[in-house]
Amino acid sequence: MGSLKAIVKHPDELYPMIKLKIASKHAEKQIPPEPHWAFCYSMLLKVSRSFAFVIQQLDVELRNAVCIFYLVLRALDTVEDDTSIPSDVKVPILEAFHRHIYDVKWHFACGTKEYKVLMDELHHVVTAFLELGRGYQEAIEEITKRMGAGMAKFILKEVETVDEYNEYCHYVAGLVGLGLSKLFYASKLENLAPDTLSNSMGLFLQKTNIIRDYLEDINEIPKSRMFWPREIWSKYANTLEDLKHEENSVKAVQCLNDMVTNALLHVEDCLKYMSALREPSIFRFCAIPQIMAIGTLALCYNNITVFRGVVKMRRGLTAKVMDGTKTMADVYGSFFDFSCLLKSKVEKSDPNATKTLSRIEAIQKSCVESGLLNKRRSYMLTSQPRCNSALIIAVFVLLAVIVAFLKKKMP
């Protein structure tokens, strides 16, 4: 019923939602026939449906390399995240993981649900990895080695300072950005040298996830490790867990805003990186997650719900972003719109208001100076229903029937 209300309120999101549903069903039917590749793409759908959608649009050779890159790092991350593994066992595995991806016989049981399946059947991923071109293999091996070493380092220490926060995010996400740039280069579809811009692409996404997932992570049993830096949260609470308690709501929101302001530091680098991309499918692959990140931060900012429940972009708006992101004009437009939403939520009483506004203005300046805002699509403005609600519901039901029919008939 909630989805129906959202569609009545935002009717312009209905058509993109239908298109996204059809595209997702089509992607599910494009799984390769070979057992090891079938496992990889099926697993990709289970561990990251949104990532699977954007990866399906890549050139076949690059698509395979990115799929395996993602699953290898997902497996590495599963080892890091499993709190039941003693540190003296976990650290050597993380440090040697880059060698295990060449060994179809290597096995280590850990994780839960679909991640346990991934680890139990990792030989399928290794088999697929061994079929990739040498340039792709070398890039994946190098990043896996560096990431494993970085994860091992932070297994034994907490994130105390902002510098350590940046370092940790570099190991677990900045290196992903660097690795993807290497894969793009190996495909000969892009000629970008991996640099600080690649790193910022990863940091922006990772910091957004860390902010958004506060409540899920703090409530996890067994207790999950938290990566909000003490240098930030200690200004507002005695312990990080204190932020979820109602009596600390004012300080919790101030801390949240401080974290969002820190994440905004990376936006200008991200815009520069995306503006240099030339291959349309790679551009969309990179741009859609970045727009989702700035949209999520705009929703999280000054929002106590981060400490009470789930904050995320509504499904229709997500579909609209996925369907409407085709050019750099769309990217500048969406970043400008979401930064306007964020700016409208800044309160003068917030201790970081001046710093936050300064970063928002820098982002908006980059968007304006691009000269492309006159071509932008608006994602921030609330769309108003232009037709009778009953008619909208009738159309929604009709399109749902069409989707059901296509699911049965689509080859």
The CA distance from 337 to 10, in Å, is 17
Note if 379 is an active site residue.
Answer: no
Q: What percent of the chain has pLDDT over 70?
A: 82
Q: What is the mean pLDDT of residues 48-55?
A: 79
Both 205 and 240 in a single domain?
A: no
166 within a domain of the structure (yes/no): yes
Query: Taking the model in full, what pTM does it have?
Result: 0.88
Q: ∠73-76-77 over CA atoms, to 5°?
A: 85
For residues 373, 377, 383, 384, the Cα torsion angle rounded to the nearest 10 degrees is 80
Same domain, residue pair 290 and 344: yes
Co-location of 63 and 205 in the same domain: yes
Query: What H or E segment, with its residue span, contains residue 127?
Result: helix 122-129
**322 in any annotated domain:** yes
Same domain, 62 and 149: yes
Could you read off the pLDDT of 363-401 as tens digits, one per residue?
A: 999 999 999 987 655 655 444 444 455 455 555 555 565
Active site annotation includes 359: no
Cα 258 to Cα 349: distance, rounded to the nearest angstrom: 13
State the CATH number of the domain containing residue 198: 1.10.600.10
DSSP letter string over 268-324? HHHHHHHHT---HHHHHHHHHHHHHHHHHHHHHTT-GGGGTS-----HHHHHHHHHH
Helix (H, G, I), strand (E, B) or coil at 50: helix
CA distances, 168 to each of 152, 171, 181, 255, 333 (Å):
11, 5, 20, 20, 31
Looking at the fold, whether 243 and 194 belong to one and the same domain comes out as no
Task: For residue range 238-284, list pLDDT tens digits in order.
Answer: 999 999 999 999 999 999 999 999 999 999 999 999 999 999 999 99
Residues 200 and 310 in one domain: no
- Is residue 290 a contact partner of residue 205, using CB atoms and an 8 Å limit? yes
Q: Are residues 243 and 161 in the same domain?
A: no
Q: What pLDDT is recorded for position 225?
A: 78
Going by pLDDT thresholds of 50, 70 and 90, the confidence category of residue 361 is: very high
The active-site residue out of 63, 212, 284, 376 is: 212
Give the three-class secondary structure for 149. helix
Domain assignment of residue 199, yes or no = yes
> Same domain, yes or no, for 73 and 204?
yes
Which tokens in the block code for residue 180?
Answer: 């993807």
Distance CA 117, CA 96 (A): 21
Look at residue 349 and tell me whether its pLDDT is greater than 50.
yes
pLDDT value at residue 404: 61
More confident of the two residues 225 and 130:
130
User: Does 191 share its domain with 71?
Assistant: yes
Which residue is catalytic, options 49, 99, 225, 278?
Answer: 225
Q: What is the pLDDT of residue 44?
A: 93
What pLDDT, on a 0 to 100 scale, did the predictor assign at position 156?
81
Last residue of a domain, one of 168, 191, 209: 209
pLDDT score recorded for residue 83: 87
pLDDT in tens, 174-192: 999 999 999 999 999 998 7
- Under 8 Å between Cβ of 327 and 298: no
Task: Name the catalytic one among 136, 285, 335, 336.
Answer: 285
Task: From the candidates 51, 168, 184, 283, give the one annotated as an active-site residue.
Answer: 168
Q: Are the CB atoms for 308 and 77 separated by under 8 Å?
A: no
What is the model's pLDDT at position 362? 98
In the annotation, is 225 catalytic?
yes
Alpha helix positions (H), 156-266: 162-169, 175-186, 196-212, 214-218, 230-233, 249-263
**CA–CA distance, 345 with 341 (Å, rounded to integer):** 7
Same domain, 204 and 67: yes
Q: What's the token pair of residue 265?
A: 């530091």
Distance CA 304, CA 211 (A): 12
- pLDDT confidence of 319, banded at 50, 70, 90? confident
**For position 328, what pLDDT does the model report?**
96
Q: What whole-number distance in Å separates Cα of residue 254 and Cα of residue 302?
A: 7
Same domain, 201 and 248: no
Is residue 340 included in any domain, yes or no?
Answer: yes
Q: Which two tokens stand for residue 279?
A: 């291959």
Closest CA to 310 of 290, 296, 295, 292: 296
Task: Tell me which of 35-39, 210-214, 390-394, 397-401 is least confident.
Answer: 390-394
* Total tally of structural domains belonging to the chain: 2
């997902």: which residue's tokens? Answer: 74
In a domain, 243, yes or no: yes
102 has pLDDT over 70 = yes
Contact predicate 179/140, CB 8 Å: yes
Domain ranges, residue 263: 236-267+275-380
Concatenating the DSSP letter of every residue in 383-402 gives PPP-S-HHHHHHHHHHHHHH
Q: Do 181 and 248 belong together in one domain?
A: no
